[in-house]
């Protein structure tokens, strides 16, 4: 019943910005769940990009600190990843994930289908 749908990916030039959105459904207590964004490139493990707790505490992987911002809208049950100053190494498929109290500890079992972000001139 839980569904996560990512959107907002695309092709952007280095230094540009993109906003990824994750629309959720079927999460009864969305306000109680941590949420996270992960990314994955071929041949590499899926890695945490950003996480946010139910009360808005955030954590970012070092590479995106200061450039990306994760936020959540409890009324709309959505999670957003604002990505600024994008670099080619940010190129990956980005996934939304439903986490626990501390969503950066480990991923939850629900994932979206992913949205492709390509940073290239």
pLDDT tens readout for residues 26-65: 988 888 899 999 999 999 999 999 999 999 999 999 999 9
Return the higher-pLDDT residue of 15 and 101. Answer: 15
- Residue 113 pLDDT level (bands cut at 50, 70, 90): very high
pLDDT tens readout for residues 57-76: 999 999 999 999 999 999 99
What is the predicted pLDDT for the residue at 31? 83
Contact in structure between 96 and 30 (CB atoms under 8 Å)? no
Contact in structure between 72 and 22 (CB atoms under 8 Å)? no
At a CB cut-off of 8 Å and minimum separation 6, what does 72 contact?
Answer: 35, 52, 56, 78, 79, 80
What is the predicted pLDDT for the residue at 86? 98
CB atoms within 10 A of CB 52: 25
């Amino acid at each position: 019943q839980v569904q996560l749908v990512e959107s907002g990916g695309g092709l952007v030039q280095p230094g540009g910005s993109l906003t990824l959105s994750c629309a959720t459904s079927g999460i009864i207590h969305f306000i109680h769940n941590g949420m996270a964004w992960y990314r994955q490139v071929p041949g590499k493990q899926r890695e945490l990009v950003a996480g946010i707790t139910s009360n808005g505490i955030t954590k970012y992987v070092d590479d995106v600190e200061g450039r990306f911002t994760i936020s959540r809208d409890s009324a709309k049950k959505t999670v957003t990843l604002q990505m600024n100053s994008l670099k080619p190494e940010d190129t990956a498929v980005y996934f939304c994930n439903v986490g626990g109290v501390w969503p950066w500890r480990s991923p939850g079992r629900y994932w979206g289908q992913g949205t492709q972000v390509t940073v290239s001139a």
